[in-house]
A = this chain, B = another copy of it.
Amino acid sequence: MSDEFCYIGGNVAENAGGGRAVKYGVTGRYVLGVEVVLPDGERIQVGGKRYKDVTGYDLLSLLVGSEGTLGIFTRIYLRLLPRPTERATVLSFFPSVDAAVDAIPRIVRDSGIVPTSVEFVDQLPLHKACEMLGETLPYQNAHAMLLLEADGRDAVVVQREAESMEEICRTSGASYVHRANDEADAERLWTIRKQVPWALRKYAQQQSLEDIALPPAALPDYIAELQMLASKYDVTIPSFGHAADGNLHATPLKRAAQTAEEWQETSGALLAEMYEHAARLGGTISGEHGIGHKRREYLPHVMSNRQIDLFRRIKDSFDPEHIMNPGKIVE
């Protein structure tokens, strides 16, 4: 969603991910260098226009994703790729979440294709987004959506990859499979996906947009666990996200009948369980949104005290007075 309003500084400071990371990786892969102002005002340049660099410790990767806690970027060097000239977009609706999730490894692992995008949306956010958009697609019986994309520079190859992905969706039980006719149609399909967080926000103003990152193979287990937690805490936990990367924006929603205090208590306990379960499956609490203040106290759920102590030492190495974005990542 943030592609509509974010800036490159924030992108780099968060090491942003998004819907094309399956094929292209996250922001950091393209950052060749930064000029950064350190907390005492000294300006240094780390990296530059060179593509390869093992000149000592990788300060560049440390700065990328540091959430403004180590310094402020005043210049960013990016590597650009030739723009793909062809893309093919496939929308699939599934009669169950399981059917959609089962299709994912068949697309990503078994087919030999490296898709550009494998976006997953479950029932509630799909329906709310389509309703908000006045969508006429036959989403009414869908329990889950996959939005798939292939791109490249060869139309025949890209269309063939799209065909394979369609075929996999069909044999995985998709009830509706549609390949975009043209760019305008592709944009229409992406608009549904991009509407999801806004539709959820409209539906339930109090919510906790999460950013669980899992080993992709653990996704089915985690989705089953979410269903159990939703029952246990009597809340709705819709999910959407970058499924092939195992990055799931599970989003517990406050019930209308709950008071703000009840919600705070419920969501605190629920998030702790969600995070612990992610950790048990080899996952973590943030794939692309970062830690900030919100998730700082939850770090011990997914890492040892020693790691958190190393974070503090790194923070102290750059910013001994803790004046840069204070309270974020480390206390």
Chain A interface residues (CB < 8 Å from chain B): 14-15, 17, 21, 25-26, 28-29, 38, 42, 44-46, 48-59, 61-62, 64-66, 81-82, 85, 109, 112, 114, 153-154, 157, 213-218, 242, 245-247, 282-291, 295, 299, 302-304, 306-308, 310-311, 313-318, 329-330
List 5 A–B pairs whose Cβ atoms lie within 8 Å, in order of A's numbering.
Answer: A48-B215, A50-B246, A52-B213, A57-B315, A317-B317
Residue ID in chain B nearest A279 by CB atoms: B48
B153 touches A286 (CB 8 A): no
Identical chains in the assembly: 2
B213 touches A53 (CB 8 A): yes
Contacts of A29 in B (CB 8 A): 25, 29
B306 touches A313 (CB 8 A): no
Residue ID in chain B nearest A16 by CB atoms: B54
In the bound complex, how far is the Cα of B45 from the Cα of A202, in angstroms? 40
Residue ID in chain B nearest A26 by CB atoms: B52
The answer, among B112, B214, B318, B330, for a CB contact under 8 Å with A153, is: B112
A218 to chain B, nearest CB (A): 8
The answer, among B55, B62, B217, for a CB contact under 8 Å with A302, is: B55
In the bound complex, how far is the Cα of B307 from the Cα of A318, in angstroms? 10
Contacts of A303 in B (CB 8 A): 44, 55-56
Contacts of A51 in B (CB 8 A): 21, 213, 215-216, 245-247, 287
Contacts of A157 in B (CB 8 A): 154, 157
In the bound complex, how far is the Cα of B318 from the Cα of A317, in angstroms? 12
In the bound complex, how far is the Cα of B214 from the Cα of A44, in angstroms? 19
In the bound complex, how far is the Cα of B35 from the Cα of A304, in angstroms? 12
Contacts of A295 in B (CB 8 A): 55
